[in-house]
């Protein structure tokens, strides 16, 4: 969208507003805009200011969601051990690297790994009746791991879990966010239903590994999101292959192509695949995500490309779906 066009003695300036800062053709659009305007007779100078305004997800009225949060993205899987938190963290940071305002909410109450992966474990501050989220790598984040620290286990039943999720959504001062990425716990249980009931989720990203035992559980997660009226933006396949410096071909340790086949089966987008690597593991352990610590690596570029595709899916869904679907929480 072109805005604020000014013409002064042959000098033309305007704002080119995109629907996402992660637009993969941003530079091409800027170049083409300059060329087209410069070709107009009488134009001596062209100034283009590239900006982004992320649309609010699915026509969500402000009072129905979290004030200031334009899109809520659930990152989920049907089972543990597929690298869901690793994907959530790196996608959140990759989106922030494009210039988007991003938050990350860790709702994996029983295994809150986000503080370690983000490199910040200090308790959050409280201002008035609001919790101030921690911030790292350009992302605001909140996790029960910041509050319940050490080796003390979290022992909660359904109603308590619902209360924790509600508090993190309503009582955290998230501010203005283009995307709130929610790292979900594995499975299809209480937290997933609480999120669907409490706030209008823009859509979900499903994380899997190539082997059938992971794919079988992700199918259940897909059907759960369908049942509660949350669209699936796409599927990410993690630990897709391993590369060895002395072997030219990728090694498919866990099988090949399972995520892409499932995306075709469910008629959703295959967002991409992430290689299995030491760099990704080191980034999670050290609190420096691979997109920050090794930004030019194959793994970081894979996360960055997936973040761009995800941002595009969010924008398309927001522009195409003015109404929120009715939730069906029945059996």
Q: What is the DSSP string of 171-189?
A: SB---SBSEEEEEPPSSSS
Of 264, 270, 272, the residue nearest 239 (C-alpha):
272
User: Other CB atoms closer than 10 Å to residue 159's CB: what's the count?
Assistant: 9
Residue 80 known to bind ligand: yes
If 0-12 CB within 10 Å is exposed, 13-18 middle and 19+ buried, where does residue 90 land? buried
Identify any residues that bridge with 3 across adjacent strands, giving them in sequence order. Answer: 15
Residue 259 known to bind ligand: no
User: Other CB atoms closer than 10 Å to residue 144's CB: what's the count?
Assistant: 21
Residue 84 known to bind ligand: yes
| Element of type H or E holding 8 | strand 2-8
Separation CA 112–CA 185 (nearest Å): 9
Reduced to 3 states (helix: H, G, I; strand: E, B; else coil), residue 169 is helix
User: Other CB atoms closer than 10 Å to residue 80's CB: what's the count?
Assistant: 16
Residue 83 known to bind ligand: yes
Residue 145 known to bind ligand: no
Residue 163 known to bind ligand: no
Separation CA 289–CA 258 (nearest Å): 25
The answer to whether 107 and 162 have CB atoms below 8 angstroms apart is no
* Residues contacting 297, CB < 8 A, separation 6+: 277, 279, 290
Q: Which two tokens stand for residue 170?
A: 């309503």
Q: Which two tokens stand for residue 273?
A: 């695949």
Separation CA 240–CA 210 (nearest Å): 6
Residue 78 known to bind ligand: yes
Separation CA 46–CA 57 (nearest Å): 33
Residue 68 known to bind ligand: no
The residue length of the chain stands at 331
Q: Which residues are annotated as a binding site?
A: 78-85
Q: Which residues are annotated as a binding site for ATP?
A: 78-85
């Amino acid at each position: 969208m072109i805005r604020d066009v000014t013409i002064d003695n042959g000098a033309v300036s305007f704002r080119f507003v995109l629907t996402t800062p992660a637009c993969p053709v941003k530079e091409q659009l800027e170049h083409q805009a300059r060329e087209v305007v410069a070709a107009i007779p009488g134009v001596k100078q062209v100034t283009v200011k590239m900006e982004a305004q992320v649309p609010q997800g699915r026509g969500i009225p402000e009072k129905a969601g979290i004030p200031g949060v334009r899109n809520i993205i659930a990152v989920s899987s049907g089972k543990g051990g597929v690298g869901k938190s690793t994907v959530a963290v790196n996608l959140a940071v990759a989106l922030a690297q494009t210039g988007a305002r991003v938050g990350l909410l860790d709702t994996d109450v029983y295994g809150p790994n986000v503080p370690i992966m983000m490199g910040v474990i200090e308790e959050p501050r409280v201002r008035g009746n609001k919790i101030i989220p921690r911030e790292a790598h350009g992302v605001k984040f909140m996790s029960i791991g910041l509050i319940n620290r050490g080796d003390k286990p979290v022992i909660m039943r359904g109603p308590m879990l619902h209360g924790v999720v509600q508090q993190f959504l309503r009582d955290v001062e998230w501010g203005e966010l283009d995307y709130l990425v929610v790292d979900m716990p594995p499975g299809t249980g209480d937290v997933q239903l609480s999120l669907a009931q409490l706030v209008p989720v823009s859509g979900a990203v499903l994380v899997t590994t190539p082997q059938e035992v992971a794919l079988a559980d992700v199918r259940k997660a897909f059907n759960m999101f369908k049942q509660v009226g949350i669209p699936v933006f796409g599927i990410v396949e993690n630990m897709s292959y391993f590369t060895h410096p002395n072997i030219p071909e990728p090694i498919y340790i866990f099988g090949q192509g399972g995520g892409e086949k499932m995306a075709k089966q469910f008629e959703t987008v295959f967002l991409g695949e992430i290689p299995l690597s030491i760099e990704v593991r080191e980034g999670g352990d050290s609190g420096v995500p691979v997109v920050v610590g090794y930004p030019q690596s194959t793994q970081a570029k894979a996360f960055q490309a997936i973040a761009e595709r995800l941002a595009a899916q969010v924008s398309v869904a927001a522009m195409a779906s003015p109404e929120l679907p009715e939730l069906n929480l029945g059996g």
